[in-house]
Amino acid sequence: MAEQQETCTLEAPARWPLTARAAISDLPASKIREIANAGFGRTDLVRFWFGESNRPTPDYIKRAAVEAIDKDAVFYTHNNGREDLREVLAGYLGGLHGRGFSTQRTSVTSSGVSALMIALQTLIAPGDRVVLVTPIWPNIAQIPEVLGAHVERVAVSPGPAGWELDLDRLLDAVTPATRVLIINSPGNPTGWTITRAQQQAILDHCRRLGVWILSDDVYERLVLGEGAANAPSFFALADARDRLIGANSFSKAWLMTGWRLGWLVAPEELFGELGKVIEFNTSCVPGFIQSAGIAALAEGEPHVRALQHELTANRNKVLAHLSAMEGVEAPCPEGGMYAFFRIRGHGDSVALARRLVAEAGLGLAPGAAFGPEGEGWLRWCFAAGGTELDEGLARLARWVSDNRRKEQE
């Protein structure tokens, strides 16, 4: 009996480290959050660090969701999204790009970032090579890393006419070993906007090599300047069987960041595969949120045009003020809702953003958040009210001139 008791004595359980896998624990914390946290609790700040409009979602969209809840649109829906929303989406895309889209080419997702994740989960395996045009919204670079891919970056550079892409460098970087080329145009944070000729050259190159293009089109409706309905799109050039996926979102052009609604455009052949991957992520988008999406697309065109107009005026104002400040370099963004600029003599963007919070009461995003190519730059989201923008610009002008004076003393 005594012997039996001895053998039953339990050892203390092993203490295993409570760690995530390396690809996750290696991810850096958000540098934008780092600055926002530094300003937490301050009521005197003017904030332009996050990428969203200061305006709430318009009433016609909210009403559609409320009515849908009243009608019990509260059950699971199709993995790829409701047929009626996909029909509206197909019609919307056809109108925008001047060619037909079947509903089987569209899938509804729970946000733009989820659209990117689902597309990349569908396409890439650990060890695959992904090429990006940078500086870029950090999630786009980090999703492939989470999935174990190897990321290569080709940077745009500031030129006299705005941000410029060295097309030959990009084409050289995209080799037969590349699985996916990701392009975000108009780009966050720079506002760089690809030209149709560049798209054609990239499409031809990727067609030859069998490389997938993932086009992040979240800002395609935020073209700045009067006239165009949207930025140049691969979908106007490609055919239905090209290796091309578009990731898009209701967040920016329809002022719906908190709704978490986006979509994918892909070859029909991937419809079922995308549905499988959506099943394991979110299973489906809530039905009442999709009703809001239908209203946004069906009734939203005048609102999107008004937003383009407003953002163009804001861009012009911000650029005029920044360019007039001594030592400030501000290439003109052609799309999106951000100015990406730098102040001579300030190479450490996190340190500079912290100082602007502390000394000027101004909240901007540090360029280093968008990769090493963004270091030394700051991002200003100008989807803001006129008074707020005026106040922010005045604070920056004061800080820049005070700082210059102190440096010269």
Ligand X SMILES: Cc1ncc(COP(=O)(O)O)c(C=O)c1O
Residue 331 CB, nearest approach to ligand X (Å): 18
Tell me if the bond preceding 135 is cis, omega within 30° of 0. Answer: yes
In whole angstroms, how large is the CA radius of gyration of the chain? 23
How deeply is 167 buried, as exposed, middle or buried, from its count of CB atoms within 10 A (0-12, 13-18, 19+)? middle
Q: Do 64 and 294 meet the contact criterion of CB atoms below 8 Å apart? A: yes
Residue 219 CB, nearest approach to ligand X (Å): 7
Establish if 262 lies at the interface with ligand X (CB under 6 A). Answer: yes
Residue 62 CB, nearest approach to ligand X (Å): 17
Span 194-223, contacts to ligand X by CB under 6 A = 216, 218
Establish if 184 lies at the interface with ligand X (CB under 6 A). Answer: yes
The one segment of 76-84, 87-95, 109-117, 200-208 that binds ligand X by CB under 6 A: 109-117
Q: Do 188 and 168 meet the contact criterion of CB atoms below 8 Å apart? A: no
Establish if 51 lies at the interface with ligand X (CB under 6 A). Answer: yes
Establish if 251 lies at the interface with ligand X (CB under 6 A). Answer: yes
Residue 241 CB, nearest approach to ligand X (Å): 25
Dist. CA 299–CA 389, nearest whole Å: 29
Nearer to ligand X, 39 or 186 (CB): 186
Establish if 357 lies at the interface with ligand X (CB under 6 A). Answer: no
Q: Token pair of 380, please?
A: 């200003």
The one segment of 2-10, 86-94, 249-257, 296-304 that binds ligand X by CB under 6 A: 249-257
- Could you list the beta-strand ranges (E) of 274-330: 328-329
The one-character DSSP state at 269 is G
* Strand partners for 164: 157
Establish if 334 lies at the interface with ligand X (CB under 6 A). Answer: no
Q: Tell me which H or E stretch contains 9.
A: none
Nearest to 213 by CA among 252, 251, 242: 242
Residue 408 CB, nearest approach to ligand X (Å): 38
Span 111-150, contacts to ligand X by CB under 6 A = 111-113, 137
Residues near ligand X (CB under 6 A)? 51, 111-113, 137, 184, 188, 216, 218, 249, 251, 257, 262
